């Protein structure tokens, strides 16, 4: 059963005549008759009684008629509206983000961009898991940090942010406005686990500055880091976007005076995939909010 056969069937049913249906469709009468014959053969039933001056629907034809109308109406709707809806970004997108970015970047972008009738599927996961989901075509785009090197991925850097030192409000360093890397040397550290790319980056920054931190605690959640630092169990390095959205001030956030640690924020795609327009709008919104300073401390 195919679309030309269904169109021929509907025209014949409505005209009650093979010749009039062929004329309506601009087909030769034998061609239309072939369509009807093939449709009946594929379905295994007779759809019309062939009468001397026309045709009449059998019970099977009457059962097919509303279905044929529905199928062809859906096809007409797709032909008329699909391109328009795609150009306007209607539809859905699957977007992923690492846990140290997702709570801060995605909610305001979604609120600004997503319209009624559009669907967004979110996945918050570690970088390696997001990469696998991109490669398996389970995600359209992922928000993560660089470096992200893979032959089958394309990476677009959409912004960057500073990492800040965070200390307890009662800590001697809390009175400063900036700190040096030397100030952080030998401090007990509350560390983000290296299962996170941010944890690996922080370890790399410390190594580059010949700082050997005493790791007091290691955790997988930024929120836990803030709680442990507030209790005086150590200091840490955290993303500015997380610091900007932290309620209360049980901690103090300090900028590094020199050689500021910075991480890039990137959108990653699988090479060869078409970028959904809704996804593009979300990435533009995230880029704009980063550039506007929405996630920066005053």
Res 204: pLDDT: 77
**What domains can be seen in the chain, in order of their start residue?**
3-88 (1.10.10.10), 96-157+271-291 (no CATH), 159-262 (3.40.190.290)
Please list the pLDDT of the chain residue by residue as tens digits (298 residues). 899 999 999 999 999 999 999 999 999 999 999 999 999 999 999 999 988 778 999 999 999 999 999 999 888 888 777 776 666 655 789 999 999 999 999 999 999 998 877 889 999 999 999 999 999 999 999 999 998 888 999 999 999 999 999 999 999 999 998 999 889 888 888 888 777 777 777 777 777 766 665 666 788 888 888 998 999 888 988 999 999 988 767 899 999 998 899 999 999 999 998 888 889 999 999 999 999 998 998 7
Q: Give 237: exposed, middle or buried? Use CB within 10 Å, 0-12, 13-18, 19+.
A: buried
Taking alpha carbons only, the member of 146, 256, 163 closest to residue 197 is 146
Res 159: pLDDT: 96
What are the φ/ψ torsions at residue 293 (nearest 5 degrees)? 85, 15
Cβ atoms of residues 222 and 148 within 8 Å: no
Paired residues of 178 in beta bridges: 255
Res 88: pLDDT: 62
Place of tokens 């709680």: 227
Res 78: pLDDT: 81
In whole angstroms, give the CA distance from residue 285 to residue 267: 12
Res 96: pLDDT: 96
Structure pTM?
Answer: 0.70
């Amino acid at each position: 059963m195919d679309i030309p056969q269904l169109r021929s069937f509907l025209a014949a049913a409505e005209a009650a005549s093979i010749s009039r249906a062929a004329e309506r469709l601009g087909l030769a009468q034998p061609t239309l008759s072939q369509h009807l014959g093939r449709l009946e053969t594929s379905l295994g039933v007779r759809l019309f009684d062939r009468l001397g001056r026309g045709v009449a629907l059998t019970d099977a034809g009457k059962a097919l008629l509303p279905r044929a109308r529905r199928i062809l109406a859906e096809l007409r709707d797709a032909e008329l509206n699909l391109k328009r809806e795609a150009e306007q970004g209607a539809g859905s997108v699957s977007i992923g983000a690492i846990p140290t970015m997702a709570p801060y970047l995605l909610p305001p972008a979604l609120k600004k961009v997503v319209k009624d009738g559009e669907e967004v599927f979110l996945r918050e996961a570690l970088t390696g898991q997001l990469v696998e989901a991109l490669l398996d075509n389970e995600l359209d785009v992922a928000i993560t940090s660089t470096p992200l090197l893979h032959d089958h991925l394309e990476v677009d850097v959409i912004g960057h942010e500073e990492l800040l030192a965070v200390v307890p409000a009662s800590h001697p360093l809390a009175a400063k406005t900036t700190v040096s890397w030397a100030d952080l040397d030998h401090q007990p550290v509350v560390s983000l686990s290296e299962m996170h790319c941010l944890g690996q980056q922080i370890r790399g920054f410390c190594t580059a500055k010949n700082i050997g931190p005493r790791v007091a605690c290691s955790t997988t959640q930024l929120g836990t880091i803030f709680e442990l630092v507030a209790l005086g169990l150590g200091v840490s390095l955290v993303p500015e976007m997380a610091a900007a959205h932290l309620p209360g001030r049980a901690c103090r956030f300090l900028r590094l005076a020199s050689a500021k640690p910075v991480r890039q924020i990137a959108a990653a795609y699988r090479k060869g995939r078409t970028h959904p327009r809704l996804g593009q709008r979300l990435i533009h919104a995230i880029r704009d909010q980063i550039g506007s300073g929405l996630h920066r401390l005053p």
